[in-house]
Amino acid sequence: MNHDSYSDDYIREILNSVKTVAMVGASPQNVRPSYFVFKYLAERGYDMIPINPGQVGKSLVGKPFVASLREIDRPIDMVDIFRSAEHIMPVVDEVLALQVRPKVIWLQLGVRHDEAAAKAEAAGIKVVMNRCPKIEYGRLSSEISWMGVNSRTLSSKRGPVPTTGMRLSLNRGSIGGGSTAAADRAAKDKNNGV
């Protein structure tokens, strides 16, 4: 696998096939990137499990924290790691020690560990490094273009305003068009032909 460049099909297949995601290094602080990613993926139907031994007894968007991957009571499809590179190999070793291994290990933006990736891939686990599933989901589902961000998809036609239950290109329903006044006005103007 070339970890310098992932095809959209590779990322799309992962995001479409995984259901249960364990996030190592999840934070309950709503200013941390892991919080935003966790909440975003949970709102899009992923079964999210926050892992942080310092937060056991608390919850993140209604999901109870667990101390380690070994304590999860159901199969995991993907492990999303919010830890720095020096902490990656111990997490990969923990993944490889599980009776039922996940399909994917995902390392967040700015994190790369080629040796750990090779070890996981040798065990049949797909690896993504230096990417964010929230950003990739938004880009591939076109949600990111609703906010005026360049999604690298050329089109002269503006994307539809999301509505509750709308099917996205990643085979998941949207949670709605947002609760801001601007989003409400945009949906109203579109529906009224303005």
CATH number at residue 120: 3.40.50.720
Residue 140 backbone dihedrals phi, psi, to 5 degrees:
-75, -25
pLDDT category at 125 given cuts 50, 70, 90 is: very high
| Boundary residue ending a domain (95, 115, 135) | 135
Q: Residue holding tokens 């720095």?
A: 84
- Contact between residue 41 and residue 21 where contact means Cβ atoms under 8 Å apart: yes
Give residue 75's pLDDT: 96
Mean pLDDT for all residues in the chain = 85
How many domains would you assign to the chain?
Answer: 2
Residue 131 backbone dihedrals phi, psi, to 5 degrees:
-140, 160
pLDDT category at 28 given cuts 50, 70, 90 is: very high
76/126 same-domain check: yes
d(CA 71, CA 81): 16
Smallest Cα–Cα separation from 93: which of 64, 71, 110, 70?
A: 70
Give residue 159's pLDDT: 59
38/116 same-domain check: yes
Give residue 162's pLDDT: 60
Q: Quick check: 151 pLDDT over 50?
A: no
Mean pLDDT within 172-185: 51
d(CA 186, CA 12): 28
pLDDT category at 32 given cuts 50, 70, 90 is: very high
Q: Residue holding tokens 């690896």?
A: 127
Give residue 178's pLDDT: 44
Instruction: Evaluate whether residue 3 is within a structural domain.
Output: no
Instruction: Evaluate whether residue 159 is within a structural domain.
Output: yes
- Lowest average pLDDT, out of 15-29, 66-80, 101-115, 138-152, goes to 138-152
Domain housing 126: 8-135
Provide the whole-model pTM: 0.76
Relative to beta strand 63-64, strand 78-81 is: unpaired
Give residue 179's pLDDT: 45
